[in-house]
Amino acid sequence: MSDTIERVVVHLVSAPVPGGLADATRKVESIGFTIVRIFTANGVEGIGVTYHEVGGEATKTLIDKAIAPRLIGRDPFDTEVLWQEFFGYLRGVGRKGLTFGALSAVDIALWDIKGKTLNLPLYKLFGGGRTSVPVYASGGWTSYSDEQLVDEAQMMVDRGYSKVKVKVGVEAGTNPRRDVIRVKKLREALGPDVALLLDANNCWDAATGARFANRVAEYDPLLIEEPVFADDIPGLARFKRSTDIPLGTGEHEYTRFGVRDLLLADAVDIVQADGTRAGGFTEMLKIAALTQAWNVGFAPHAMENIHLHLVAAAPNGLFLERLLLFEEVTSRVFADAPVPIDGQMHIPDLPGLGLNLDLDYVLANDEGTA
């Protein structure tokens, strides 16, 4: 009954981001996917993915040179065993960052093999019963004018979303009073029924974040995300004590250990760990369990086509994030990737991830073969 990994292929595809989009702390110039394809002796192909703004070449090289040779001949169902082996093998070269992007993409591909072998979608393997999950639209860059900000949010609502996330922290976080004015304009334009999520992308200290939260409370945000530097866990906890607006964070945490520290410090209400960076499905199942033990929300960052299985299966899974920035590259890399309908992502009735690569596009645009 067992299967064996025979071959691992890695592709690197990226797309420039037009228009110099920026949030409070960085400009985004390119979005890239590192795509892992794992082939087995029984003829199953699993696909996994991680993404990057910079450094995709390093991720690809790490998989090609260090991870792939150790997968050959192994049983793809041994996800726990393999994860622990690679955690040990790679620990000296990084327990965060690109190293974990690489490990995450490989783990996701192994789970795709499991689903395809058993002819079950992954959410069923995870024990889930939901076949659709709410999703919010995510954009609203700080580089936008007030008019662009409101127009894009209105466009999201016109496209059927009832939840919209925008950036705050204009002028590199130096002018929170302007942010309050922008939030006010958004609330006035969108009306009371659209959920408004605010992402500060690490730009403030706890006192500035708390002052901002208290000033925008009347506009009823659903959450404030990363109001302080992601590694300032005491600062996040101080922010959380200062407001009853839920605090979202975790997109920059890796593994169950990073999320454990947020929870122990009472520094999060909605955990936004990203399975394409934090360690794949093997690790995200543990992270989801931790969030349940602490009775907080679970709402993974970005990569909605990967995360929908996890959120569908987690009893505290709130919603997915669909970054408008990723729509173009996602629609090109994957053939027939699901798209939101009326603010819901519907899980494809297909085994594994339910995703198929558009191989013509991937091979024609593969930067890894140059």
For the bound state, the minimum distance from the C-beta of residue 248 to Mg ion, rounded and expressed in Å, comes to 8
23 touches Mg ion by CB under 5 A: no
Contact predicate 7/31, CB 8 Å: no
Which residue's CB is nearer to Mg ion, number 26 or number 91? 26
Tokens representing 136?
A: 């919010």
CB of 38 to Mg ion, least distance (A): 30
x/- string (CB under 5 A) for Mg ion, residues 149-178?
A: ------------------------------
Strand runs labelled E in the chain? 5-16, 30-40, 45-52, 132-138, 163-167, 195-199, 223-225, 247-249, 270-271, 297-298, 320-323, 334-335, 344-346, 356-357
Q: How far is the CB of 353 from Mg ion (least distance, A)?
A: 23
DSSP assignment of 162-188, as one string? SEEEEE--HHHHT-HHHHHHHHHHHHH
Q: Terminus-to-terminus CA distance in the chain, angstroms?
A: 39
Question: Per rule CB under 5 A, is residue 199 in the interface with Mg ion?
Answer: yes
Torsion of CA 152, 153, 155, 158, to 10 degrees: 180
Nearest to 251 by CA among 210, 193, 307, 292: 307
Q: Which stretch binds Mg ion (CB under 5 A): 198-206, 230-238, 310-318, 345-353?
A: 198-206
β-partners of residue 194 are none
**Angle in degrees, 0-180, between the axes of helices 146-158 and 176-190, rounded to the nearest 10:** 40
Q: Which is nearer to Mg ion, 37 or 322 (CB)?
A: 322
Least distance between Mg ion and beta carbon 277 (Å): 12
Residues 269-308 that bind Mg ion (CB under 5 A): none
Min CB(226)–Mg ion separation in Å? 6
- Tell me the residue nearest to Mg ion as measured from the CB: 199
276 vs 282 by CB, closer to Mg ion: 276
Residue placing its CB nearer to Mg ion in the complex, 63 or 137: 137
Distance of CA 274 to the CA centre of its chain: 4
- The answer to whether 83 touches 283, Cβ cutoff 8 Å, is yes
Stretch binding Mg ion (CB under 5 A), from 59-67, 68-76, 193-201, 361-369:
193-201
Nearer to Mg ion, 112 or 179 (CB): 179
Please give the distance of CA 181 from its chain centroid, rounded to a whole number: 29
Number of residues counted as binding Mg ion (CB under 5 A): 1
Stretch of 24-32, 37-45, 199-207, 310-318 contacting Mg ion, by CB under 5 A? 199-207
Q: Min. distance of Cβ 203 from Mg ion in angstroms?
A: 11
Q: How many CB atoms lie within 10 A of CB 103?
A: 31
Strand, helix or coil at 278?
A: helix
Q: In terms of CB distance, is 199 or 269 closer to Mg ion?
A: 199
* Residues paired with 22 in a beta bridge: 27
Give the type of residue at 145: S
253 touching Mg ion, by CB under 5 A: no
Q: How far is the CB of 165 from Mg ion (least distance, A)?
A: 8
Minimum separation from the CB atom of position 30 to Mg ion (A): 18
**Residue with smaller CB distance to Mg ion, 199 or 283:** 199
C-beta of 60 vs 240, nearer to Mg ion: 240
Q: Which residues bind Mg ion (CB under 5 A)?
A: 199
